[in-house]
Every structure is written in C-alpha cells, then in structure tokens.
A and B are shown apart, each in its own frame.
Chain A
C-alpha cells in the first residue's frame, strides 16, 4: 500500500517550492496585465498594423501548446541574450525565462478578455458621459474602465487558474517549483505515485485558494453593479430565474 511516511516527507520538502510557484503566477500576471490591456486597445480601435499583429499573436499563442512555447523561449533566449551581454547570459536564474514564457502566454488570453470586457459596456454609458461634459479620457477612466474591469473578473479567475496549472511545466526550464521538487523526491526514493499524490493536493489547494480570493474580489467589486441591476431589471430577472428553474423539468419528468 501507500508509503505514508514518505508522503509526509515529500509534503515537507515540497512546501519550499510553493513560493516559487506563486511567484511565477503572480509576476506573470502582473507583467501581462498592462501589455494585454494595450493589445486590447490596439484591437478595439483597429490601429493599423497593430491590429493585425495582435490578431496573429493571439492566434499563434492560443493555437500552440505551452510546452512548445517553453522550448522555443528556453532555447532561443539564452543565446540571444548572450550575443548582447556575453557569457553571463547563461548564468541567469531560469525563473526569469519562466516569467517570460508565462507572461507571453497570459497576454494572449488576457487580450481577448479585456477586449470583450470593454465591448460589453453599453454605448449609452459613453453618451451619458458626454452629456455631463466629461472629456473622452475622463469617460474612459471613470465610466468605461470600472465597469469593464468588473465584467472581466470572472475570466481573470479562469486565466489565473490556467496559469497555476501551466506553471507545473516550469520544471522543464529547471525552475525549482513544487513539481520539480516532488519529481526529484520521487525519482530519488523510487515512489512516484506517493509523490504525485502529494503534488496533486498542493495544486488543488493553490487553485481553490486562488478561486476563493477571486470570488471575494468579484463580490467586493460587483456590489455596486448588482444594486443598479436589481433596481431596474427586477421583473426581468425574476422572469429569467423562473424559466431556468422550469427548464430542469423535461429531464426529471
């Protein structure tokens, strides 16, 4: 049966990798947010050249597996850097390459999220801003942006969870994250199943914690939005909830 002593040992050893995994996720997310926002604006305002570039970029990154991106960056960047700064490029901490890959990856999906979020804001909101004499940058900052960010939050949760899951591949770049540590422990003691079970639990905890944080953020930032919605559409909302409940019945009956 399972070797529980070894599992405890792995759990203790792996906990050192948790900050590394979190670091990869958080740093990539923070780096990706402004870039993808600019990309989304390039697409929305169909900037010549920029629009096509972003389209191609998003299609390529979303159409290729992260492992291919990791291999390309990890093989191309060190020698590219070496041609600028010499041999010291090969001594760079590999976690920097992890930041690069996961940022590149997150930018693609975040661009789409921001684009759709900015599109969901009703045009009337813009007109209302013009009516009270705001300039277009004021309208954007004070009216459009707050609403767009709230509607982007659920998708942001999904992207963060995706990043957590993808970060499990950072070990290929010899980053010492939780997967790398568990893998070495497993190979050293030749008990793979135990080590991966522990690793699995770690990922479940990290994912659920991230989800919890984002859910509370959604609640916090969504509180004004809900009030407005309820006041105006209470009848319609009730109608929708009634019909969705009834829809269950064909399957039951």
Chain B
C-alpha cells in the first residue's frame, strides 16, 4: 500500500515537467516528418546521385546511437556555425539542440516508411486518376496519399513511440525533463525510494506510448472505413 502512495506522490511531482517531453517530441515529429518527406522524394526520384546520398544518410543515421547524435549536435552544431558561418549559437536554449538531434533521428525511419507506403500503392490507381482528367497534384493528394497513409500508419506509430523514448535522453545535456526531475527527487531523498520514483517515470512513458498506439489505431480504423466505402 505504501508503495502505491509513494508512486502516486512521485507521479504528481513528475507530471508538471511532461511539457518538455511533449514539446521535444511534437517538434521533432513535425520537423522530422517534413525532412523525411524530402528524403522520400529524393529516394523515389530519378537522380541516381540524390538516391545515393539519401541512402547513405539514412544508413548512417540508423547506425548512430541516439545519445551520440544528441552529443554530436550539441557540441558539433555550434562548432560548425562558429567556424563556417561566424554565428555564435552557444547561448541557445539547449532544448533546440535536442529537437534538432531527434529530428535527424526521426527523419530516417520516416523516409523509409513513406517510401514503402508510396510503393505499395498500385500503379493502376495513378492511371485511373489520369483517366478521369486529374492533374499530378490532384492524383497525389486525392488518390495516392489517402491510401498510402493507411499503409504507413502502423509503422508510423512505432517510429513515433521510438521518438518519444529517444526523447528521454534530453536530460543528458542538462535540460530538466522528467528523467532529470526523477533523478533530483531520488537525490533529494538521499537515494531512498529510488525504484518507486523511476517506476512512476516508466509509468508515465508507458501511458504515453499506449495513448499513441491507441490514437493511431483509431485513426487507422477511420481511414479504413472511408476506403471501404469508396471501393464499394
């Protein structure tokens, strides 16, 4: 019983800093999806050089541990801007560096997901669009995109949950997020109630992951419904 009380207490102390985690994840989600889209265009495009560059980028990013990526961006970006553009960005809020690092990390799986979703759409769909006199943008927006979204959604959810989990490394460069806060609580209790504290931290992340899975499953269902009604 005592443990439940403790965990409830720690949950209340940790929840106020959840906004850091959410800010980081949502920003990286938006920016990473955008860059992933650009990478996808490069990968399905006709330029062989561009395809090679994109493939190399994706393979390197996927082999990089998230924590190394955060360190590299945090120490490398100010170095690059100072030496090549004569801009000093060392005073930036540290959260920006995390967002940039996570954006880079997220863009690689997104590019792969978008590409495989795009390729999974039958070519006949494209031709049907031409037949009814749509232009290329209309075909993409009205025919390819809705179908590709359904295919991409489950993988997108997995990537998003991974992004959320990678975001837990924000504390390594000194931003006070939930992980840093829980470490503070533990050291305030001089090391006592450690597993209860970290347990409540894990519970918050678990709830967030389950919520993402649920939302994506629901929107997948909604899309599927629409799709069925069209095909009938």
Interface check B72, CB cutoff 8 A = yes
In the assembled complex, how far is the CB of residue A106 from the closest CB belonging to chain B, in whole angstroms?
15
Binds B, one of A25-33, A62-70, A117-125, A143-151: A62-70
CB distance from A79 to the nearest CB of B (A): 8
A13 contacts the other chain (CB 8 A): no
B223–chain A nearest beta-carbon distance, Å = 21
B209 close to A64 (CB less than 8 A): yes
B79 interfacial by beta-carbon distance below 8 Å: yes
| A192 in contact with B71 (CB, 8 Å) | yes
Given contacts A179-B67, A204-B63, A208-B63, contact A68 B44 (CB under 8 A): no
Assess A203 versus B201: contact at CB under 8 Å? Given A72-B195, A252-B45.
no
Closest beta carbon of chain A to B37's beta carbon, Å: 13
Which residues of B sit under 8 angstroms from A192, Cβ to Cβ? 71, 75
Assess A161 versus B62: contact at CB under 8 Å? Given A64-B165, A193-B79, A247-B119: yes
What separation, in Å, do the CA atoms of A76 and B126 have in the docked complex? 57
> Taking chain B's interface residues, is the majority helix, strand, or loop, or is none over half, making it mixed?
helix
Query: Are B179's CB and A68's CB within 8 A?
Result: yes
A residues 19-77 in Cβ contact with B at 8 Å: 59-60, 62-69, 71-72, 75-76
Q: Which residues of A contact B201 (CB under 8 A)?
A: 68, 71
Which residues does chain B contribute within 8 Å of A243, judged by CB atoms? 123
User: A164 to B60, alpha carbons, bound, how many Å?
Assistant: 14
Cβ contacts B65-91/A at 8 Å (1 or 0 each): 111100110011001000100000000
Given A168-B68, A196-B75, A244-B119, CB of A75 within 8 Å of CB of B195: yes
Q: Closest approach, in angstroms, between the C-beta of B212 and any C-beta of chain A? A: 9
How would residues 190 to 218 of chain A score, 1 for a CB under 8 Å from any chain B CB and 0 otherwise?
00110011011001100110010000000
Cβ B44 vs Cβ A251 within 8 A: yes
Taken together as a complex, chains A and B put the C-alpha atoms of A63 and B206 apart, in Å, by 5
> Chain A at the B interface: mostly helix, strand, loop or mixed?
helix
B183 contact set on A, CB distance < 8 A:
71
Q: How far is the CB of B45 from chain A (nearest CB, A)?
A: 6
* Contact code string B185-203 (vs A, CB < 8 Å = 1, else 0): 0100001001100110110
Q: Is the CB of B68 within 8 A of A72?
A: no
Q: Scoring B residues 209 to 222 as 1 if CB is less than 8 Å from chain A, else 0, what string do you get? A: 11000000000000
Q: Does A86 make an interface contact (CB < 8 A)?
A: no
Are A203 and B68 touching (Cβ within 8 A)?
yes
- Asked if A229 is an interface residue, CB under 8 A from chain B, the answer is no
**B33 at the binding interface (Cβ < 8 Å):** no
Give the residue of B41, B72, B182 whose beta carbon is less than 8 angstroms from that of A71. B182
Q: Is residue B64 within 8 Å, beta carbon to beta carbon, of the partner chain?
A: yes
B161 interfacial by beta-carbon distance below 8 Å = yes
Interface size of B as a range: 35 or more
Whether A75 contacts B63 by the Cβ 8 Å rule is no
CA distance A71 to B187 in the complex (A): 13
Interface size of A as a range: 35 or more
State in angstroms the CA–CA spacing of A142 and B167 once bound together.
Answer: 44
Scan residues 146-177 of chain B and give those whose CB is less than 8 A from a CB of chain A. Answer: 161, 164-169
Alpha-carbon distance between A249 and B68 when the two chains are bound, in angstroms:
38
A203 in contact with B64 (CB, 8 Å): yes
Q: Which of A212-253 contact B (CB under 8 A)?
A: 243-244, 246-252
For residue A60, which residues in chain B have a CB less than 8 angstroms away from its CB? 202, 206
Q: Name B123's contact: one of A193, A197, A211, A250 (CB within 8 Å).
A: A250
In Å, the complex CA distance between A164 and B208 comes to 25
Does B46 interact with chain A (Cβ within 8 Å)?
yes
Partner of B195, one of A59, A66, A76, A247: A76
| Contact (Cβ within 8 A) A196 B71 | yes
Let me know if A166 and B65 touch, CB within 8 A: yes
Complex A-B, nearest 9 residue pairs according to Cβ-Cβ distance, in ascending order: A75-B194, A63-B209, A65-B168, A207-B63, A76-B195, A168-B65, A65-B165, A165-B65, A71-B198
- A residues sitting closer than 8 Å to B (CB atoms) are 1, 59-60, 62-69, 71-72, 75-76, 161, 164-169, 179, 192-193, 196-197, 199-200, 203-204, 207-208, 211, 243-244, 246-252
Q: Can you give 10 contacting A-B residue pairs, CB < 8 Å? A: A63-B209, A64-B205, A64-B206, A64-B209, A72-B202, A75-B195, A196-B68, A196-B75, A250-B139, A252-B45
